[in-house]
Each structure stands twice: as structure tokens, then as C-alpha cells.
Amino acid sequence: MANFIVRRAAVLGAGVMGAQIAAHLVNARVPVVLFDLAAKEGPKDGIARKAIDGLGRLSPAPLAETREVVHIRAADYDDDLEQLRSCDLVIEAIAERMDLKLDLYRRVGPFLREDAVIASNTSGLSIGALADSLPPALRRRFCGVHFFNPPRYMHLVELIGTPSSDAQMLDGLETFLTSALGKGVVRAKDTPNFIANRYGIFSMLATMANAEKLGLGFDVVDDLTGTRLGRAKSATFRTADVVGLDTMAHVIRTMADTLPDDPWHAYFKSPPWLAALIQKGALGQKTRAGVYSKPGKDILVLDVARQEYVPATGTASPRVKELLKIKAPGERFAALRADADPHAQFLWAIHRDLFHYCAYHLAAVADNARDVDLALRWGFGWSTGPFEIWQAAGWQQIAGWVDEDIRGGRALSGAPLPAWAVDPGRSVVHATQGSYSAARDAWIPRSSLPVYGRQLFPPQVLGEKPAARGTALMENDAVRLWVDTNEPGGDDVAILSFKTKMNTISDAVLDGMQQAIATAEERFKGLVIWQTDEPFSLGADLASLAPALMQGRFDLIEKVVDKFQRTAMALKYAQVPTIAAVRGMALGGGCEFTLHCARAVAALESYIGLVEVGVGLLPAGGGCKELALRAAQETRGNAYILDFLRGYFQTVATATVSKSAEEARTLGFLRAGDSVAMNAHEVLWLAKRTARAMYDTGYRAPLRSAGFPVLGASGIATIEAQLVNMRDGGFISAHDFAVGMALAETLCGGFVDAGSLVDEQWVLDLERRHFIALLKNPLTQARIKHTLETGKPLRN
């Protein structure tokens, strides 16, 4: 397959969705031209300019690094259509109206290159009908590409072809979306609302209908249908607020208009309360009021009967909370179905109707059951898809109960389950040979596109044959050192994974790391630190130090800190490349190990930082030392060290955590030579290749620094003056001042003359001394205790 290269892209439509798609293309290092209508006043490209300016105010941030916004150029349809001729990819993202989209295609068509890919970011309109408006030469390069909001963070993209779409083009675009944009791509059929919205919105409508039947309030429903079911915290009605009540109403209307023969059509309508809120302009989160409102600190919920907002205090009944603790899915559903508690009846009903709908429409909507499950997991934040839930609970048992409710008139529709679903021989829809396709009556394996070879351990659905987790070289309760036998020829790089809670770093982890480094030096081309599940690491295991702290055994704690520092230095000076393969959070000690590895490969959504000051400590695993050394190296002398060091001091003193891997590079936690992977599932593959390439090109461990310049006493005095002003102005406490001074002395190399040369061990000793001194302080001890008990910081 030929490379699909996107040197420049255009996004048509500068609404919230279009602007954020443009931002994510820039995250992938693709410059973008963002088009919209010509403004009636001011510069003609003013509408697009305003959208670009607004990206910096959106939360969560659409841009991985805000300064990259300069790579989005504003344009309008009157004067700038010639710019389309230089674009390899054009994504249309205007309002969900067929007439407006068709008018725009007629307008821009003459300016589109015949080899450019043209895609519509529609949430459910017919891709075939849109393609018919294009010149025949462009139809083969046209398809649907449905991003979910917000585009940077939502993993799902639905890719929808037409009979005219070029197959190689679709494969190239899927590869680009997967690797360059980091998405999970599902090929959807050209049916109304495609897969995720078709099933996800139906699930919400079925939830609303059953809630109304049983008289359950919005807040009660959200407590029942959120994290308790392994779904997004926003559950049902909060999700509607986030998406936008007007957007949700539009999707419902699309289903009503385009699916007149659907057996559930009677439920494809906006409830009266939804229409009333839209009429009032209460559209959800974007208008600060919808189903919920938050005028102050308290969250309020709409009371439909009283037509006013009241405190949101509804919760699941105690009985149902107990039933949901039943671990076996089949037993849990049996208990819910048999219980008279309205909340239990509600939970069975919403699952029954979802199973019923998914099975009935599988042949028409999706190529196979796996695509449905992944679409809802990636697009709606479910931990488990509907077919996975059904299969885990026992296929025949659930099918029998659903069929019984249909025949008894208790289901939302009387349509029978399809024959394949009630086949007595069926026990699964996901198996080692693939996932079941109702349309083909066959098992469909995973895509064989080469890009998926970069995902050594891709997301699995229940019943699939999981990728073998390699061969263990050494394993205990703290760590696992192993080689990957899943990848052909991939056993020449050792992989170290932690087994502690949240991958924290305990004394046993340090022992395991030292053994792993020695083993890698002896037998392998490199060592990769990679966790089987996020986060990368939340840092030192403070809880494991609590007994020694309570006994005042600071000598024991100092030995652990010393071992931590020696382990970090062993990573840095290992005789084979050491690679930190980071996904998710790398905080405290996790960040320090990242700083010391020969290279880092970080997923875009990596959140890296030194956060020790939050508990009244300073980084003592070599983090301060490494930043002091980097400041000296970056300035190549003493003259401007303060300019660099001041930034590092502020970052550490404020416990700043990067909001992306790119921002981590800006903050100094990643280096210019470190790599950022857009797709988190490619991090291990890339890390292993990085280690192998470094080894094969003659890797040599860095020479230990004979000495590097530090700011010394003058730098400490400069930072102290700033801290005094903050303390005296009431911005920080006296203890914050003490922590800040300890940090300043360490980063500046102690009370030595400016420009003095010190080695790494000198700064490590400063780190360790100040760490122990702060640990002895009762105020720091109070912060640690509060954090361990509540998970929240204490300011004292």
C-alpha cells in the first residue's frame, strides 16, 4: 500500500467541532486552513479567526501545545478557495443539514485536487447521498469520517465508505487516522447515525423511557447508569448536557426522519422536558444550564414537575448497591431481574432493551459485533460493550430472558430477536477466530492493515484470543521482567513492568529495577519500562514508608531514598539503551525515571510532572539534579543559567503537570530527541524499535559529568527574594516558603560561589538531605497523612 501523506489539510466549518478537528490535525504536525463564511463586518476571515482564538479558552484543551495554534490559518469561502488546491485532505464539518453540505460541495468542488481525499464529518447523514453531489472524479476520493467530541480526547473515529470510494484510499486514510491522529477506527456502514450514535443514542432513549415508566429522577438515573455500570462518569443526562441538548435532539430527529420502519420508532422523539429546555436556550454545558445547572459550588438538577432546579442528591437504592456488587454477570442480572426494587427493574430493563436493539439491527448497522462493542467503548466511554456484557452473562440465559420479556409485552418493542441470536447452538459472538457478522453469517477476524502491526497489545473484546504477554525472565509481587514473544523477532529487548497499585515505586520495585538493568546489560539490546495498564507511575509509594515514618526511623527512609537515586543513575548510565515508554500519568518518581532513561517514548496523552511539593517535599530521586544539569547544559556556560533554572524552579515549586507529552517537552521533562506517539497503543512498539536502533548504531552510555556550573548562593538569594514577596503577600504559607527554599538550594547547587563546578552526586546529596529534613517537619508529615487519607493536598 502506498504511503498516505498529508502535507496540508483544510477543515470546512469553523464551529466548535471543526476548529477542534483542525487543532488535532496540528497536534499531528499537519498545518491546516480553517474555512468559514465570510464575515459581514471586519476582516472577511473573521469568523474563522475568532474560532482559532477561542481554542485557547476551551477545556479540555484541544491543542497539545497552545503555541502551535499558529499553524492554523483562517480563511473564508469568498476569497480563499484557491488554498484548497494545496491540501491533501479536506474535512467538511459544517452544520448537520444535507442542503447546506450539498451547496458547499458545489461551491468548493472546482478547487479540490482530484488526488485529494474529501471527507464529511457528519454524525449520521447519508454519505452516499453526499457523494452524489460531487463530480464523478472526486467520488472515488470521498468518504465519511466521524470524529467524536472532543476530537483530541475521544478515541473513536467512524470511517464510512460508499460504493464509489476507492478501497486503497480508505485503507490509507484509516492508517493515517490510526497512527498519525491516534484514533481507534471502526468501519461503519452507511446507515443513519452509523454505529456509535445509533446504538448509544438508542441506549439513552431507552434509559429515558424506562426511567419515565418507573418515575426515576435525572440524578438517580445518572447515579445508576454511570460508573456503577462501568460507563462514563457523566452517565446519561450529564452526557446529554456535555454533548449539547440541541445536538442530541438533532440526532434523535435524524433517527425519526430516516428510520420510519424501525420497530422502536415510537421512541425516536425528544421528551417534552428536552424540547422545553431547548426552547428556553438551556442547551447544557455550553450554556451553563440544561438538565443540570451549577450556579455556584452546588450541582442542581431539573425537577420536571416543579420546573425548577433543586439540589442533585438522588442515588441508587441500598438494595441495588448490594446487588451490583455481585461479581458474576449472569448472577447479577438474575438478581436484578428478580428483584422488585424499582432501581433493579430499571437496570434490567435498560440492558434488556439494549441487547434487543443491538441484536435486531446488527446485520444492517455493523459488519460484526466487535465493531459495535469497540464503537461504544471508544465513543461513549463504556468499559464493556453490549455484546461483551451479554456474552459474559451467558448468551443463552440472557437471550431467553429477553425473548420472554418480548413475548410478555414488557420490552419496548415486540419485534422478535433474530434467528442467529436465539440459535440454541450459540454461546458467543466473540471468539478466537473473530467476531460474528450477522450480515455474512461468518466470523470476522481483525483488520490485517499493516498499521495494526504497530499495536503489540491492542484493545481486546471479551472472548478474543489475547496476545501472549511474553516470557517472564524474572517475576515477583513488585515487578515483571519479560520479553515479547508476540512480535516476531521481538525478544531482543527486555521489558520491565511494575505490578504495584497504580504502578507506584516501592523498595521492592527498586530492587527489581536494578536486577532488570543488570540482566539487560548482560543479555539484551535494551530495556524498556512499560506498564501493561496506565498510569506509567504515580511515583514513590508513600504508604509503604508510613511505618518507618511513624516510628521516626528516618535512617531507614534515607536508605530507600539513596537506593532510589542509585536506581535512577543506573538507568542513565546503563550500558544498553533504557527507554521509558510512557502512557498516562508519570508523576514524581515516575517522572524522575523518565528523566534518567536514555530516551523516552510518550503517548500524546501523557501527563508528566514532579509533584512532591504538594506533600511538603522536594524531588529526591534525581529529579532536581537532572534539571540543574540540563539548565547548565542548555546554556553551555554560566551566564544565563538563571533564565533556564527559574523556569524549572517554578515548574517544580508549583507541582506543574504537563497537559500533554508535547507540553512535557516544553516544560523540560522530555528532550528534543524523545518521541511522541499519537496512538498510545503504539508506544511499546516504538520504544522497542528505539532501543534496538540505538543499540545497532553503536550506543554508548553517556560519560559521567566531571562537573557542571551551578548558580550557588547568588541564585538562592534571587529565588529567596521572590519567595519572601510571595510569603509576605499571603500567596504562600511559611511552610511553603521553607519547601521552596530547600528546592532553591538544591537546584542552585547549595551555598557555593556562582559558577562553581559540582558533580551529580553533590546535587543528589543535597536532594536527599533536604528531603529527610522536610520529612522530619510535622507540617510535611501532616500533608502526607492528609493526602494518604483523602487523596487531596493539604495547605498548611
CA 143, CA 130: separation in Å to the nearest integer?
9
Percentages of the chain per state (helix, strand, coil), in multiples of 5: 50, 15, 35
CA 499, CA 537: separation in Å to the nearest integer?
11
Residue position matching grid coordinates 480526547: 153
* First-to-final CA distance of the chain: 61
Domains defined along the chain, listed by start: 9-187 (3.40.50.720), 196-442 (1.10.1040.50), 471-636+653-704 (3.90.226.10)
Residue 434 phi, psi dihedral angles, 5° rounding: 140, -165
Strand, helix or coil at 147?
strand
pLDDT attached to residue 636: 66
Ranges in the chain, pLDDT < 70:
1, 467, 636-640
Closest-CA residue to 543 (of 583, 595, 500): 500
pLDDT attached to residue 540: 94
Cβ contact 726:744 at 8 Å: no
Instruction: Say what the pTM is.
Output: 0.94
CA 581, CA 114: separation in Å to the nearest integer?
40
Contacts of 174 (CB under 8 A, 6+ apart): 159, 185, 187, 447, 449, 451
- Residue 120 forms beta bridges with which residues? 92, 144
| pLDDT digit string, tens, across residues 620-674 | 999 999 999 999 988 765 556 787 888 999 999 999 999 999 999 999 999 999 9
How, if at all, do strands 430-431 and 156-160 pair? Answer: unpaired
Determine the Cα angle at 141 with ends 377 and 31, to 5°. 75
CA 476, CA 606: separation in Å to the nearest integer?
27
Residue position matching grid coordinates 536486577: 515
CA 212, CA 342: separation in Å to the nearest integer?
12
